[in-house]
Structure 1
Amino acid sequence: MKKLAHICAITALLWGASPALADQRTLTVVADEWPPFSGEALPNKGISLDVISTILTRAGYEVRTSVLPWARIMSMATEQDIEIVGSLFFDPEMTEFVTYAEPFFSTDVRLVAQTGSVIAYTSVEDLRPYSIAVGTGFLYQDEFDQADYLNKVEVTTTLQAMRMLADGRVDLTLDSEDVINYSFRNHDPSLAQRIALQPGVLASQDIHMAVGNSVENRDAIIADFNRVLGEMRADGSLDQLLAVHTGG
């Protein structure tokens, strides 16, 4: 989910020169480790990096990809030393540093509890009694993110949060349904017997890429990306590419 200012990825020019001085047709797509959206061990480094690099290549750019720690990505963004950010949930605070392109994927943010537990809630306020493992800097849903009255226990990764939940060290965690199901299938299948997605959706979030506001050809990159994204939606090639990662 991406991530807060954990959100999904950034396309950045990091190869020794500032973005404004770099070759405007060469882009480096960087993302944090957030399977299945991005990760070094994933096919073509995950949904986000594959989709973004495919679209930009089709638009005529040369593309490189890299997976970096989220803290480094955020530092680069705030220092205006970045070109393109992908795997992001929309965050108004981030618009100080980047401009968003149209979304290329959507995902549901859902709560997870121990198997047999049912957490009934109709609002974020209803979650006040519970301890909740959250990723440091992750974005989930505006009201939840701003609810400083909740008992939030910060962790580094969703997998860490899920294991804490399975061991009874917290009452809840949450993330993109796609991320949670990926962890069940690939990281620790035993977790699927110990913890379970809760009914209901906390938020449906679109996943974007965004271009750093200091990039000289920012508007052209966004226009090219949006144009090719529309073409790929129309000709079915976006669905075909996503199916490689989602099994759809």
Structure 2
Amino acid sequence: MTRRWLRLVLLLVPALLAAAETRPVVRLNTLEWPPYTTEALPDRGHTTAVVEKVWQAAGFDPKIRFRPWSRTVREARTGQNQIEGYFPEYYAEALTANFLFSDPIGGGWLGLAEQTERPIRWQRLQDLKPYTIGVVTDYVNTRDFDAAVRDGWLRTDEASDDQKNLRKLLYGRLDLVVIDENVFAYLLSHDASLLPGRTLLQINPQKLEYKKLYLCLRKSAEAERKMASFNLMLRQLQDRGEIPLFE
């Protein structure tokens, strides 16, 4: 009996491997943006875990690569390295010319980091005119904030990632930094170069906006089919309580 089972297993393994190989692949980029997406955590961040679980449940084989943000978006837009899309992204009307947006896959508060000893009082974006504000290159922020930057009446200073902006804030080279509050808390707890920020930096109590997170696929007929499958499975997993609702 044991030998028969062994022979059966040996016969089935190639068939199972072949079946796995025929699962359609979806190639995506993401970035180091902990705790949402990061290679430093076992599940590669809770947003990565959601994306992988949904694609796998929908019958796809997700291939996810970590890249700097500007490259993440550029490769998704051009199809370089066969990249079909990226995550996580904030919604912006300008991006819909090239990308399909999924249903929400997460969310968090976007705020302003500041020096603890130099708190800034503000109510409207116009109140921020006197200050230099750190932003990450190619990040979407809020519609009104980004419009103010384009119109030239908000002064910003760009960096390639949130860590660089926070270090500049620590050294007094910036007055404020636009940053997701969960990312801010994670970086101050885990990045050794930012440990002084635990006491020297804080999030301004006036928030910018609650931002939902999305998966983006470059527009095509195939992308529409894949996105429909993704959204359907996302809703099914949420209905079963296996993934939180992101409303």
Q: TM-score, normalised by structure 2?
A: 0.82
The residue aligned with 2:128 is: 127
Find the residue that maps to 1:206 and give its secondary structure.
strand
In structure 1, the partner of 2:12 is none
Aligned to 2:107: 106
Q: Deviations over 1:17-53 (max 9, x none)?
A: xxxxxx8811123202222222222323222222111
Aligned to 1:222: 227
Of 150, 154, 159 in structure 2, the residue corresponding to residue 150 of structure 1 is 154
- 2:114 and 2:139 mapped to 1: Cα distance? 19
Correspondent of 1:199 among 205, 208, 218: 205
Q: Which amino acid aligns with 1:238?
A: I
1:87 aligns with 2:96: no
Name the SS for the 2:43 alignment partner: helix
Can you give the 5+ residue segments of structure 2 that lack an aligned partner in the other structure?
Answer: 1-21
Contact 2:132 2:156 in 1 (8 A): yes
Amino acid at match of 2:53: T
Q: Does 1:232 align with 2:237?
A: yes
- Aligned position for 1:209: 215
CA distance in 1, matches of 2:188, 2:237: 30
Partner-residue secondary structure (3-state), 1:164: helix
Tell me if 1:67 matches 2:66.
yes
1:162 aligned residue (166, 170, 179): 166
Aligned equivalent of 1:186, options 171, 184, 190: 190
Preserved CA contact (<8 Å) 2:115 2:169: yes
* Displacement of 1:80: 4.5
What one-letter code is carried by the residue in structure 2 that aligns with 1:169? R
Q: What RMSD, in angstroms, separates the aligned Cα atoms of the two structures? A: 2.0
Q: Deviations over 1:74-106 (max 9, x none)?
A: 322332454122200001111111100100111
The percent identity for this pair of structures is 24
Amino acid at match of 1:212: R
Q: Which amino acid aligns with 1:150?
A: L
> Gaps (5+ residues) in structure 1?
1-22, 243-248
Superposed CA offset, 1:108-132 (max 9, x none)? 1111111133322121111001111
Structure number with the higher helix fraction is 2
Contact 1:161 1:173 in 2 (8 A): yes
Classify the secondary structure of the residue corresponding to 1:237: coil
Distance 1:68 1:112 in 2: 25
Q: Deviations over 1:36-74 (max 9, x none)?
A: 222222323222222111100011111222101222223
Asked if the contact 1:85/1:98 (under 8 Å) is kept, the reply is no
- In the alignment, residue 86 of structure 1 is paired with which amino acid? F
Which whole-Å CA distance do the structure 1 matches of 2:69 and 2:173 have between them? 25
Deviation at 1:179, TM superposition (A): 0.8
Per-residue CA distance 1:187-214 (angstroms, 9 max, x = gap): 1332110010111210111000021103
Q: Give the number of equivalent residue pairs.
A: 218
